[in-house]
Amino acid sequence: MTIAAHLNHQAEQQASNIMALSLYDISVPVFARGLGQLTHLLDKSLAHAKANGIDPATLVEARLAPDMLTLVGQIQRASDASKLGIARISGITAPSFPDEEKTWDDLVARIAKTQDFLASVDRAQVDGQEERAVTIKTREGEAQFPAQRYLLQFALPNFFFHVTTAYDVLRHKGMPIGKMDYLGKF
């Protein structure tokens, strides 16, 4: 066997030993981790606000621009994007959370309820659903996707848009959070 053939054979063996990512792997743990980092951002910001005499209520209603959602709205949408994303790809019903959060504690509780829902979703409900038809309503009408494309091209980007915007609102208001607070520990 030539060296090149041997190296190709080794590469093929290594590739076959790598487990493919499942629909569950690229959804539930990703959403759960993002929500965990969002909780971390809120916890660190609340500690800073309390230590510096900043009323947390001013942060809850903060926004980046007049036509954007407040911090509350960003967290509600991150919650919705994750729970509805999983429900749509798995064919289960997501819990309904009315958008009634007004306080810091309400926001933390909303994230925790969303994480509890995600933790209740069994891998078997998600895996194998890559081709499930997902239809969502948009301002332009309806959009249809196979579940995997919906997750990768809509649900995850939408989720991270709202998590990132919540981070940006807190940074804009002077909270001492940075990139590693957003990314978290690996």
Question: What percent of the chain is modeled with pLDDT above 90?
Answer: 85
The range of the structural domain enclosing residue 169 comes to: 22-183
| 15 in a structural domain | no
| 98 in a structural domain | yes
Which secondary structure element, helix H or strand E, spans residue 176, and what is its range? none
pTM above 0.95, yes or no: no
CATH classification at residue 107:
1.20.120.450
The predicted structure's pLDDT at residue 148: 96
User: Residues for the chain: how many in total?
Assistant: 186
| 4 in a structural domain | no
Other CB atoms within 10 Å distance of the CB of residue 177: 17
Lowest pLDDT segment from 10-19, 31-40, 114-123: 10-19
How many domains, the chain? 1
Given a contact cutoff of 8 angstroms between Cβ atoms, the answer to whether 87 and 64 are in contact is no
